[in-house]
């Protein structure tokens, strides 16, 4: 018995696929499936998070609709995947935030923007708020650095804690309890697979869209988004080191490392999300789990708007618009981090953990084969 009908459907499909095995060369899901004869809820959550939703196994499947077997692996695994994030969410009381996630993210963003508008208006007079501030410490004329660091530090640490607790529950559920230690080689393999999006290629031809012509555009957009996010994070880390170790206050010159990293990352976080939205638009609706649409689109839009407002702040920071742009950018950044453990962001974390598990399983199997 499975906890949900979606898991029961995934079990049915994996049982069909395990007899067929036509798709075993396409991605990691099918080889991982073949290591099992029966599928617990944890197994199915693991397989669902290994799936990169390239669509190849749907296009290749002789049992896809209208066949009576009605095999649609990408769509079913997408539904299981989204449910799994709610299953492992921490604290449990907030698991329901994954349902109607688009509305939740809109609401949190509006509240966050409102809080910054009120906060800036209360603690600054109109002359400062709409005045021109330049040179080191210009941002902190409107919001003290200590207040900014404390607020975002708390939000960030909470997000890390919530994500870590969720991953802990996931890891325990998808692994043999006696074998939950993580090997360094499995982590390195998973980092390589995640960094190159090894399994987002439809078995080598690319992702499938409505016209069944595979392309690599979705993979490229995903790379731009992911590395853009990493560069922006690196820019924040370098700026923090500048502040505390060198006593140098933001904003920095355009050629300084935090600005260069932030600008490159920001551009990636504009082009990538636009590409992902376009790819979603072109995608075959048979592959899309409509229930997840709000969550998928809200997350990509949050990345895009956070990046656009950050770039706008960079361009107009020496003008009287700086106060307003700072409010809007900080409002989006805080909403992004508050909702991080309860939205699509978690897919990258859970997929990485599934890749670690897969690398570990592969090594265990090849080790056993070598011993024989």
Binding residues vs ligand SF4 (CB under 6 A): 16-17, 20-23, 26-27, 29, 51-57, 60-63, 71, 73-74, 77, 199
Residue 4 CB, nearest approach to ligand SF4 (Å): 19
Query: What is the CA 146 to chain-centroid distance, rounded?
Result: 29
The C-alpha angle with vertex 342 and arms to 52 and 43, in degrees rounded to 5, equals 45
Cβ nearer to ligand SF4, comparing 116 with 199:
199
Cβ nearer to ligand SF4, comparing 147 with 195:
195
Cβ nearer to ligand SF4, comparing 52 with 133:
52
Residue 345 CB, nearest approach to ligand SF4 (Å): 20
Torsion of CA 62, 221, 156, 142, to 10 degrees: -150
In order, the DSSP letters of 139-194 are GGGTS-HHHHHHHHHHHHHHHHHHHHHHHHHHHHHHS-GGG----HHHHHHHHHHH
Contact 170, 353 (CB under 8 A): yes
Cβ nearer to ligand SF4, comparing 21 with 172:
21
Which residue in 106, 104, 48 sits closest to 79, CA to CA? 48
Residue 324 CB, nearest approach to ligand SF4 (Å): 44
Residue 161 CB, nearest approach to ligand SF4 (Å): 30
Residue 364 CB, nearest approach to ligand SF4 (Å): 21
Enter the DSSP assignment of 215. B
Residue 180 CB, nearest approach to ligand SF4 (Å): 25
CA distance 11 to 73: 11
CA distance 344 to 341: 8
Torsion of CA 157, 162, 163, 168, to 10 degrees: 120
CA distance 32 to 16: 15
Residue 33 CB, nearest approach to ligand SF4 (Å): 9
Cβ nearer to ligand SF4, comparing 51 with 338:
51
CA distance 59 to 57: 6
Residue 65 CB, nearest approach to ligand SF4 (Å): 11
Cβ nearer to ligand SF4, comparing 202 with 262:
202
Cβ nearer to ligand SF4, comparing 20 with 99:
20
Cβ nearer to ligand SF4, comparing 41 with 193:
193
Torsion of CA 201, 195, 154, 310, to 10 degrees: -80
């Amino acid at each position: 018995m499975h906890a949900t009908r979606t898991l029961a459907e995934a079990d049915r499909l994996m049982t069909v696929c395990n007899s067929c095995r036509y798709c075993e060369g396409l991605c990691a899901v099918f080889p991982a499936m073949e290591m099992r004869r029966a599928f617990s809820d944890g197994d199915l959550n693991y397989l669902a998070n290994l799936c990169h939703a390239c669509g190849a196994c749907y296009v290749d499947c002789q049992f896809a609709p209208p066949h009576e077997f009605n095999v649609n692996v990408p769509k079913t695994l997408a539904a299981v995947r989204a449910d799994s994030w709610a299953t492992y969410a921490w604290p449990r009381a907030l698991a329901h935030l994954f349902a109607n996630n688009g509305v939740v993210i809109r609401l949190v963003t509006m509240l966050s923007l409102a809080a910054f508008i009120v906060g800036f208006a209360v603690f600054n007079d109109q002359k400062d708020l709409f005045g021109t501030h330049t040179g080191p410490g210009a941002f902190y004329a409107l919001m003290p650095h200590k207040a900014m660091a404390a607020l975002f530090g708390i939000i960030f640490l909470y997000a890390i804690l919530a994500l870590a607790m969720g991953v802990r529950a996931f890891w325990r559920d998808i692994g043999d309890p006696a074998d939950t230690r993580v090997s360094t080689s499995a982590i390195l393999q998973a980092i390589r697979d995640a960094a190159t999006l090894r399994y987002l290629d439809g078995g080598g031809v690319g992702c499938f869209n409505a016209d069944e012509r595979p392309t690599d555009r979705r993979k490229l957009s995903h790379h731009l988004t992911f590395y853009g996010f990493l560069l922006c994070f690196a820019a924040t880390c370098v700026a923090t080191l500048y502040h505390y170790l060198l006593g140098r206050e933001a904003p920095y010159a355009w050629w300084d490392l935090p600005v260069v990293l932030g600008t490159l990352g920001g551009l990636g976080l504009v082009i990538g999300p636009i590409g992902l939205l376009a790819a979603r638009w072109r995608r075959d609706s048979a592959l899309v789990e409509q229930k997840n649409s709000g969550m998928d689109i809200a997350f990509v839009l949050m990345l895009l708007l956070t990046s656009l407002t950050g770039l706008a702040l960079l361009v107009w920071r020496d003008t009287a618009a700086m106060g307003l742009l700072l409010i809007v950018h900080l409002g989006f950044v805080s909403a992004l981090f508050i909702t991080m453990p309860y939205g699509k962001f978690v897919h990258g974390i859970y997929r990485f953990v599934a890749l670690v598990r897969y690398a570990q399983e592969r090594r265990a199997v090849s080790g056993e084969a070598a011993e024989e």
